[in-house]
Structures are given as structure tokens and as C-alpha cells.
Amino acid sequence: MSASLRGALLGLLSCVAVGHAGAASGLYTAAVLPQASLVPGGVAILSIAARAEDAGAAPAVSYEGSSVMVLKAADGWRAIVGVPLSAMPGSASIEIRRGAGATPQTMRFDIAPKQYAQQRLQVPPAQVNLSQHDLERYAREQTRLHAALSSFDEPPPATLRLLPPVDGVRSSSFGLRRVFNNEARNPHSGMDIAASKGTPVRAAANGVVIDTGNYFFNGNSVLIDHGEGLITMYCHLSVIGVAVGQAVHTGAMIGKVGATGRVTGPHLHFGVALNRDFVDPALFLPNPSPASSPVPSPQAPSRP
């Protein structure tokens, strides 16, 4: 699917969206923005002043070479920056360009440290050491995944407050780093939500499906592009119910909970990405009900 067609589908969905008064008026208010969290794996919401000479044109913003979502606000613009889990605490910056050929400006912000949980396990090596064939498959899938996460098409989403994709107990496993036999693995890049096999999984917001398929670790997966670098990922599905290029509405069933990939039982792995990096999904979701409050025991796959 071409970028222009994907953008047109996203625009159509945004036009029919209801209940997001801030975005519908052309202005994005705090009611439709995620929670700000200036830590690795968090979201920075940075204010950019409007200038008369810009004639209402949005500035182009980038962070570490990746395009950043920019939303109109009453007093100017808001840059919505996904901070990668790999970010080092300390000073960081975005680059702002106002018009073609303009000299870029730099805006600095500070990333605070955050200590995510760590789990140390001693297991038989055969359970965590991949064969050459599996390593090659994983490498191919990472290239494919990174290409999907690079999508950056207009228009922006009508809201960044997302619908929980499935009802269930949420784990607090985002950022968890597992250490197998004294070898650290990549931190967990999403939220695990407990649900029984076959439970319908819903689209967290309006968007267009940009990838589906079976991944070695993530199993049957769906990725949805919501506009300007906001992408959601749904993993370990027993059934994939959508196709690449399909436009979906908030709450539409896109698959069913399963236990495909490298997992110990049925659940949904839910990922949220901004400017190519996965960030904490909890920042985009409403507070959980008592029945779905976060628990510290994740059911996460053992990624290398």
C-alpha cells in the first residue's frame, strides 16, 4: 500500500472519530495526550511556541534522527517524543526545523533515571540458546519489524488515549530485564495482559494494519499504524483477523488471544511505539480497574 493511500485511510478514520473534542477542533489538549514520563521507555511532551512568520505551518521535529509527532495546541505545538528504553539519563534534545532550508533549532530536555525490575534465572542452556537457523530467522524478523516501525504518515491520530485491547490483569513487566545464566537479555518492550485463549483482541485506536504474520518470539502478530509514528503491536494471537492494508476502527476485533511464539501460556503482549521505539503502554491507557490492576509477575517471552 502506498503512503498516500494509507494516509487517506487514516484521514477518513480521523474524520469519523467521535468523542475526541480536543483533536476534532484542530487542537490537541491534555485530555487526548498520553501521560508524560521523562524516563527511559517514557514519553516527553515538549511545548514549541508558534511564530507569526510560520503562517500556521507545523515545524518538523526529529529525535535521534527519527521524525517526531507534532500536534497543534492552543499556544503553539506539542512534540510527542518516545524515549527509548536504551536512552541514558541526562540531557537529550530534539531538532526543530521551521520551513525548508531553515536553520534547525535545538530544544533540550532531561531524562531522569528509572530502575526497572530485573529477574535472574538459572535454566538449562538449551532453553535459551537459539540454533543458527532460529538466530537467522530472528534477525530477518527484526529487520522486518524495524521497517514497519519506521512508518510515519499523516494525519496524526485523533487521540493518543488508547482503548485497552483486551480486558484482563495487566502485568507491570514493561522494561523488565531477564538475566538467564548470568547473560542479560533485551528488556521487555510491552505490557502483558492475562486473558484466556480465544478472547477477542480489539484495535486500541483507529488505524491501518501495516503488518501481520508469525514471528519467532512474538508468534502471530498484528501491527497497526495510527499516524505520525504511533504504532501498536499485538502478539501471541491464536487467530489473526485482519489483513495488511485494512483500515480498522477503535474497538474492532483484530484477532484472538493465544499462546503462539515463545510463551508459557495464553496472554496478549501489547506494544506501543513512537518514533520507532517501544515505550510504556500504561502511559496511553486509562487507569486499570481493580480487577485488572498491574501485577508484578509477567508472563513474558524470553527474547535474546
Domain positions in the chain are 3-111, 118-292
Considering the four listed CATH numbers 2.70.70.10, 1.20.1250.20, 3.50.90.10, 3.30.530.20, the one that applies to the domain covering 118-292 is: 2.70.70.10
What confidence score (pLDDT) does residue 130 get? Answer: 84
Write the pLDDT tens digit of every residue in 284-300.
999 877 665 555 444 44
Rounded Cα gap, residues 37 and 43, in angstroms: 5
| CA nearest to 39, candidates 84, 106, 77 | 84
Looking at CATH, the fold of the domain delimited by 3-111 is given as Immunoglobulin-like (2.60.40)
Write the pLDDT tens digit of every residue in 168-178.
999 878 998 88
Omega of the bond leading into 59 within 30 degrees of 0 (cis): no
What confidence score (pLDDT) does residue 99 get? Answer: 81
| CA nearest to 58, candidates 46, 73, 44, 45 | 73
CB-based contact 257:196 (threshold 8 Å): yes
Residue 254 predicted with pLDDT over 80: yes
> Hey, which residues does 192 pair with through a beta bridge?
269
Strand, helix or coil for residue 224 = strand
Write the pLDDT tens digit of every residue in 221-242.
999 999 999 999 999 999 999 9
What confidence score (pLDDT) does residue 124 get? Answer: 74
Q: Counting every residue, how long is the chain?
A: 304
pTM: 0.88
What is the average pLDDT value for the chain, to the nearest integer?
87
Residue listed under C-alpha cell 485488572: 292
3-111 and 118-292 share one fold: no
What confidence score (pLDDT) does residue 11 get? Answer: 55
